[in-house]
Amino acid sequence: MSVRYRHARPALTVDCVVFGLDQRDLKVLLIERALEPFAGQWALPGGFVRIDETVEQAARRELQEETGLDKVYLEQLYTFGDLDRDPRERVVSVAYYALVRLAANTAQANTDARKAEWFALNRMPSLAFDHDRIFRVAYERLQNKVCYQPIGFELLPKKFTLSQLQQLYEIILGQELDKRNFRKKMLGMNVLVETDEYEQGVAHRAARLYRFHKTKYQELLKRGFHFEV
Amino acid sequence: MSVRYRHARPALTVDCVVFGLDQRDLKVLLIERALEPFAGQWALPGGFVRIDETVEQAARRELQEETGLDKVYLEQLYTFGDLDRDPRERVVSVAYYALVRLAANTAQANTDARKAEWFALNRMPSLAFDHDRIFRVAYERLQNKVCYQPIGFELLPKKFTLSQLQQLYEIILGQELDKRNFRKKMLGMNVLVETDEYEQGVAHRAARLYRFHKTKYQELLKRGFHFEV
DNA sequence: AATGATAGTGTAATAATTACACTATCTAAA
DNA sequence: TTTAGATAGTGTAATTATTACACTATCATT
């Protein structure tokens, strides 16, 4: 049950930077390593690409196995191919980033045998391997991406208020936005549909719930869109 | 001289989409395959990642070996990890795209043993493996990229006229641009420096030559920039 | 009934983008 | 030497997008 090759081959792995929105915090899902190297340290979920699965399948499988997450928004980030990434042997890793609706998924994440935990971005421990670097690249990409593709929706519940959406942008971009201008711009993009529902159980005027319109969203992607920060 | 692994590993390769500007045509550099599979067909330059080189080093080495190109602008594009990319075995490929000053490099490209040839984008043959797809992704990326990072300079000679620059944008984007607005925008970005030289040997008023200013270019990258199309 | 909290709304000033046409300068040919 | 042909180089007015900014509405709780 082993394989021979003419030349040495790098091991091929995937690593996932999973972002989730928890109330007012953007968080990242980390796994505590059980084994050496870096035993006891936190790392990004990930693992080896099997010979009979695509690289994206590998990323989804590892996410499912290590964190219980399923059917998340997943996008390839970058491939990290330096020589000394893993002390044991040469490992090339294809990194992905994922956006999940944290409220709906958080329970599952901790039922798994391995210890998985959500960390707020400013409370993250230092990570195993070169995962700090991978995380930074992912966060930069996310900040960039929300400015020209409205993927932020993937982090919110299906129905959300405009204030929630604005908060999300403020958290991701790390800056305050003007309420009226934000609404004007978002509604003008024509991807939001107002429902006739309102938020529940708040001690103030209830905000209208919106959802995002898949078809119009596809059109927007083709047209392109730019959200100035 | 062979290696054993516990589990089968995908082979890891790099492929490069090399863009060059030839007068008024955007071209891509292709290699004619000598061996099966796809012997005689055209393919992107590329090859295996060795165990003692980074993935980017592998891309640069293959470019050098197969096309003679050296010190080009090179950027990682995407990693293609489907199962059936190569009929012989499982191969995962990290694709890069390169921008070169064609005039300065075209000679070298053909001195190599293997047959390398520049093809205008609309005269390209169908390619081996999934290289058509890789090419399409690269071209889309290039079209996107020139709109928010002025990487187009990498395709022009060190000193160029504003008309050459405009033509380049028109070719890449596939649409005509207004001369006055283009100049206003480009000069307003503050990355061009006018030299006191003029183009030579043209049968009309000679245009002033410009070059691009590295430091200001770095600033621009940080600030961000958006070139509407 | 009053308080506290957030929802929801419009306008004027400024900046960016667009559309558009003529004169200047050079070479080559007559 | 004159003319024709080719491209360089320049400005403005109209339109559109972006910004800055403050008050009233509604609901739950006390």
Q: What is the predicted pLDDT for the residue at B218?
A: 82
**What does the alpha-carbon distance between residue B154 and residue B31 come to, in Å, rounded to a whole number?**
22
pTM beyond 0.90, yes or no: yes
What residues contact residue A16 under an 8 Å CB cut-off, 6+ apart?
A44, A45, A46, A59, A62, A63, A74, A95, A96, A97, A98
**What does the alpha-carbon distance between residue B211 and residue B26 come to, in Å, rounded to a whole number?**
20
pLDDT digits (tens, 9 = 90+) for A36-68: 899 999 999 999 999 999 999 999 999 999 999
pLDDT digits (tens, 9 = 90+) for A73-125: 999 999 999 999 999 999 999 999 999 988 655 555 554 557 999 999 999 99
B11 closest CB neighbour out of A9, A50, A53: A9
Mean pLDDT on B21-26: 86
Whether the CB of B222 is below 8 Å from some CB of chain A: the reply is no
* DSSP-based three-state secondary structure for B73: strand
Interchain pair B83, A52: CB under 8 A: yes
Interchain pair A82, B54: CB under 8 A: yes
Q: What is the predicted pLDDT for the residue at A113?
A: 56
Interchain pair B79, A79: CB under 8 A: yes
Pick the CATH number of A150-222 from 3.30.300.30, 1.10.10.10, 3.10.20.30, 1.20.272.10: 1.10.10.10
Mean pLDDT on B5-29: 95
CA end-to-end span of chain B, whole Å?
A: 55
Cβ-based contacts with strand D at under 7 Å: A 178-181, 184-185, 202-206, 226, 228; B 161-163, 179-181, 183-184, 198, 202-208
> Which superfamily is assigned to B11-145 in CATH?
Nucleoside Triphosphate Pyrophosphohydrolase (3.90.79.10)
Q: Is this complex scored with an ipTM above 0.90?
A: yes
**What does the alpha-carbon distance between residue B55 and residue B75 come to, in Å, rounded to a whole number?**
11
Mean pLDDT on A190-212: 94
Asked if strand C comes closer than 7 Å to B176 Cβ, the answer is no
Question: In this model, does residue B220 exceed pLDDT 90?
Answer: no
- Across A23-166, the runs of DSSP E, i.e. the strands, are 25-32, 42-43, 46-48, 73-80, 91-100, 116-120
Question: In this model, does residue A228 exceed pLDDT 60?
Answer: yes
**What does the alpha-carbon distance between residue A157 and residue A151 come to, in Å, rounded to a whole number?**
13
Using alpha carbons, list the distances in angstroms from residue A117 to A15, A32, A68, B70, B165: 16, 8, 12, 46, 51
Q: Please give the residue that has the higher pLDDT: either A107 or A30.
A: A30
**What does the alpha-carbon distance between residue A11 and residue A92 come to, in Å, rounded to a whole number?**
6
Written in H, E and C, the secondary structure of A28-44 is: EEEEECCCCCCCCCEEC
Domain ranges of chain A: 11-145, 150-222
Whether the CB of A4 is below 8 Å from some CB of chain B: the reply is yes
